[in-house]
């Protein structure tokens, strides 16, 4: 029985229920097509993680995202000058 665990951040209302359903269908179909696995026995679990609950480079992802947005804003401002 194939078991797939997808971990994804919950950001800005995504993934939606529809997107999660599409992921489940897509992964199930992929395992069936590529590995010949039975769709009815394929398990797909989606774990949604808050950006406050994990980190990158010693910082919470919430902070990393804010820094990235700030840096991108500065980069855009330089292009306009």
Q: Are 28 and 45 in contact (CB under 8 A)?
A: no
Check: pTM over 0.85? Answer yes or no. no
Would you state the pLDDT for residue 12? 87
Q: Which of 2, 4, 32, 63 is catalytic?
A: 2
H or E stretch including 30? helix 17-35
Pick the closest to residue 53 from 24, 4, 11 (CA basis).
Answer: 11
Q: Are 2 and 43 in contact (CB under 8 A)?
A: yes
- Across residues 69-75, what is the average pLDDT? 85
Would you state the pLDDT for residue 63? 94
Would you state the pLDDT for residue 59? 96
**Is residue 2 flagged as an active site residue?**
yes
When pLDDT is cut at 50, 70 and 90, the band that residue 73 belongs to is confident
Tell me the C-alpha distance between 21 and 10, whole Å: 15
Q: Are 5 and 42 in contact (CB under 8 A)?
A: no
pLDDT digits over 4-57, tens only? 999 999 988 899 999 999 999 999 999 999 999 999 999 999 999 999 998 999
């Amino acid at each position: 029985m194939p078991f797939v665990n997808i971990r994804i951040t919950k950001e800005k209302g995504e993934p939606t229920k529809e997107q999660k359903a599409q992921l489940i269908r897509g992964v199930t179909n992929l395992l069936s097509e590529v590995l010949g696995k039975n769709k009815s026995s394929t398990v797909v679990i989606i774990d949604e993680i808050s950006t406050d609950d994990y980190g990158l480079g010693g910082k919470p992802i919430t902070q990393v995202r804010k820094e990235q947005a700030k840096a991108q804003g500065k980069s855009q401002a330089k292009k306009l000058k």
